[in-house]
């Protein structure tokens, strides 16, 4: 009898990561994973009973790394420079954010193990979110960030921006730089000459107002 090829948990996580990004959650299966790892499906079932259990285990592992990386940042002086550090970290884990948006939230038949992993991911997400929230609050208190913009909306904008598909063929570094510039400075060239505001006309439409 041929011996089963050896593979590690890290190997499974790495291939799971690649497959989720290439085929998505719905098409992801142990069959595809087994093919990528060049092992049998039975070998994978020795570790996980279904794909959700594997995916949540992978996500918790990555979120633990992300939170640890945030805790270990050696902050340089200056709030704007620190914002660049924070954005770079969030962008580094952009694949994880993209994958998290794929996963269905409704799991009425979740096993005890999946419920445990979901709870762990919620705790880690809350911890990461609160640290970013505190950082944005400091920026508003010190006058770096507009106080009129809700903190939650700023955070959502940052997280969603890093999951935008890369159809422009820019490098990761270029994308991170441009997205950060758009978030911090906007897209208008001469803001001192021409300001553009949105005037709310009713509950469903907005009117552009150009002020010269």
Range with the poorest average pLDDT among 64-78, 86-100, 152-166, 182-196: 182-196
> Percent of the chain beyond pLDDT 70?
86
Distance CA 119, CA 113 (A): 10
pLDDT, average across residues 205-212: 46
The pLDDT of residue 3 is above 60: no
Confidence label for 23 from pLDDT (cuts 50, 70 and 90): very high
DSSP assignment string, 44-90: HHTT-SSHHHHHHHHHHHHHHHHHHHHHT--PPSSHHHHHHHHHHHH
CATH superfamily, domain 62-211, is: Tetracycline Repressor, domain 2 (1.10.357.10)
Residue 102 is encoded by which pair of tokens? 């794929």
Q: Is the pLDDT of residue 203 over 50?
A: no
Return residue ranges of the chain for CATH 1.10.357.10: 62-211
pLDDT at 4: 61
> Which stretch of DSSP H or E encloses residue 200?
strand 195-200
**212 Cα distance to chain centroid:** 39
List where CATH 1.10.10.60 sits in the chain. Answer: 1-47
pLDDT of amino acid 48: 94
CB atoms within 10 A of CB 113: 15
Query: Which of 95-104, 127-136, 175-184 reaches the highest mean pLDDT?
Result: 127-136
Q: What local confidence, expressed as pLDDT, does residue 186 receive? A: 87
Average pLDDT (133-148) is 94
Provide mean pLDDT across the span 13-29. Answer: 96
What percentage of the chain carries pLDDT values higher than 90? 60
1-47 placed in CATH 3.90.79.10: no
Which pLDDT score, from 0 to 100, does residue 211 have? 46
pLDDT tens, 32-85?
999 999 999 999 999 999 999 999 999 999 999 999 999 999 999 899 999 999
């Amino acid at each position: 009898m041929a011996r089963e090829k050896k593979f590690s948990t890290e190997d499974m996580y790495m291939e799971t990561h690649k497959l989720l990004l290439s085929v998505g959650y719905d098409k992801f299966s142990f069959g595809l994973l087994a093919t990528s790892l060049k092992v049998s499906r039975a070998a994978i079932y020795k570790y996980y009973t279904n794909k959700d259990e594997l995916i949540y285990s992978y996500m918790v592992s990555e979120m633990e790394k992300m939170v640890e990386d945030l805790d270990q940042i050696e902050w340089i002086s200056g709030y704007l420079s620190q914002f660049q550090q924070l954005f770079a970290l969030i962008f580094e884990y952009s694949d994880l954010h993209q994958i998290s948006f794929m996963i269905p939230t409704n799991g009425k038949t979740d096993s005890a193990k999946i419920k445990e992993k979901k709870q762990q991911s919620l705790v880690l997400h809350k911890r990461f979110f609160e640290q970013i929230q505190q950082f944005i609050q400091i920026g508003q208190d010190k006058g770096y960030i507009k106080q009129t913009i809700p903190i939650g909306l700023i955070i959502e904008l940052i997280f969603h921006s890093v999951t935008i598909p890369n159809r422009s063929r820019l490098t990761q570094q270029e994308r991170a730089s441009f997205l950060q510039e758009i978030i911090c400075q906007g897209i208008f060239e001469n803001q001192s000459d021409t300001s553009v505001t949105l005037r709310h006309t009713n509950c469903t439409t907005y009117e552009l107002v150009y002020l010269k």
